[in-house]
Amino acid sequence: MTPESSDAERWCVVTGGRGFAARHLVEMLVRYEMFLVRIADLAPAIQLDPQEQSGVLGEAMRSGRVQYVSADLRDKSQVVKAFKGAEVVFHMAAPDSSINNHQLQYSVNVQGTKNVIDACVNTGVKRLIYTSSPSVVFDGVHGILNGSESMAYPSKHNDSYSATKAEGEALIMDANGCNGLLTCCIRPSSIFGPGDRLLVPSLVAAARAGKSKFIIGDGNNLYDFTYVENVAHAHVCAERALASGGDVSSKASGQAYFITNMEPIKFWEFMSQLLEGLGYERPSIKIPAFVMMPIAYVVELIYKLLGPYGMKVPQLTPSRVRLLSCSRTFDCTKAKDRLGYAPVVPLQEGIRRTIDSFSHLTAGSQSKREGLSKASRILGGGKVADTLLWKDLKQTLTAVLILVSIYYNFVATGSTIITALSKALLVSSVFLFLHGILPEKIFGYTIEKIPASKFHVSKDTSHHLSLSVVTSWNTTVKALKSLCQGNDWSFFLKVVFVLLIMSFAGAVSLHSIFVIGLPIAFIVFLVYEKKEQEIDSVMLGFKSFACKRKNEVSEKLFGSKKYD
């Protein structure tokens, strides 16, 4: 259905209107009663949050002051349909900046922006305000201190998002004056505030995983953060300046503007205030950026391989490491002079409001996982699980030291199993004997004696052990009977597969098990616990594929056997 508007109605369109900053702009436009607002976004229908339902947006939608239009910017006909009858367009749509996929970024930020410009010209839109990014002037290597709009685009950008945003921005400024269309570009720096779905949630997730204690770089890099309401206010200021006519609109149009809170702060101090306000510890351990970069490249490579199978976009990427360790501050003088922009919410007030809005993510409100994790259940949920999952750091480090000692004393020396076992028993015997003859106290320290009961096996324990042996034997006999009958090809293939795996495993030397197997054991279970859903999703897809192939092979090879 094509949006309709009467001559008396003044409509504006907000592309990507369900995004973080765009939601705040929509509500501000409704409160100011400047325009009737048309939200254009990808979803086929709008889904309001409970707070929105009972708030300004829900009321405006029920009264007809706000409309929703499903539109893909990559489809020009959909864009033209969404813009019909509009006087102003706030072009805020863009893919997630953390997704370093050039094809996706280019299709939306460049080709989609071309469609927006063409649709504005074709439908008679008078003013077009584009939400750009300060990253368009950032090369990912050199920091920026008090940067101005006179800075040129770098020859190479930090990532695909920044490069394509720069292309889109250039298109917007070149379109100024085309068929009476006035344009300008807003470059808000590091947006934060209530409703944020990236910065604070990822920060809390890192804190709960024990990863927020690290500072990437020296921790002294300065940053300009912008409270989301100030970003919305900047868009309104830009629209008002373009609509003023005369020298004001001519000076304001065709230009780009940095937008900040005008209160530079150390990046890691800002993060610390958010974490501390939510009840988590401040980061304190500094890691040089050059140490993190190789790890970030590996993470990015893994995402490229597993992304199509459901892996979530990682937070640790090379471009993000550069962003976290460089200084980036910008001068807003031009926006102040030509747009009349000034922050309406101070930085500390914005931080306070942000913390209050995320009270459900505070340390005290963290909901504990019901029961054991899947990784813990696989490991038996006892001391082994606690050790390999790093639940008890002291216990894990003790186990690592013991294993390293075993490796250097028994494995690295080339000992056979018999000699290694003999050495271990010899060391144990000497330790137990010396421990036994030591006095109960030495220099005031109590020596705890090992009671003989520690080596005693109770009747219940021996009974359970016997039952386990008998059960295992009966299961083996049952399996042998099934093989003797020769009518279960699926079971036969499973047995062959398991025995082949065991034969390969038996060929692995003790040295390889220690050097390769043990480090993997201390990492792989921990990774699985943290990324359980993503890994299970990938494995489910692989299992489904394997089962399908297995069934096809079984039908071809043994299909006729079933009917003999």
CA distance 357 to 367: 18
Contact 129, 235 (CB under 8 A): yes
CA distance 509 to 89: 68
Among this protein's residues, is 543 annotated catalytic?
no
> Which structure tokens are listed for 162?
């920044």
CA distance 409 to 427: 11
Contact 189, 259 (CB under 8 A): yes
> Which structure tokens are listed for 131?
């939400």
- Tell me whether residue 416 is exposed, middle or buried, using C-beta atoms within 10 angstroms of its C-beta: 0 to 12, 13 to 18, 19 or more: exposed
Contact 334, 151 (CB under 8 A): no
- For 94, 266, 448, the CA distances from 439, given in Å and listed in that order, are 74, 58, 10
- Number of CB atoms found within 10 A of residue 311's CB: 17
Phi and psi torsions of 333, nearest 5°: -55, -40
> Which structure tokens are listed for 262?
């005008």
Phi and psi torsions of 276, nearest 5°: -65, -40
**Residue 171, SS3?**
helix
> Which structure tokens are listed for 408?
């250097």
Instruction: Please pick, among 76, 84, 126, 165, the residue that the annotation labels catalytic.
Output: 165
Contacts with 366 (C-beta within 8 Å, 6 or more apart), sequence order: 208
Dihedral-angle region of residue 180 (phi above 0 means left; psi in -120 to 50 means alpha; beta otherwise): left
Dihedral-angle region of residue 177 (phi above 0 means left; psi in -120 to 50 means alpha; beta otherwise): left
Alpha helices in 184-225 (DSSP H): 199-208
Q: Positive or negative, the Cα torsion across 497, 503, 507, 513?
A: positive
Contact 194, 227 (CB under 8 A): no
DSSP-assigned letter for residue 198: S
Catalytic residues: 165
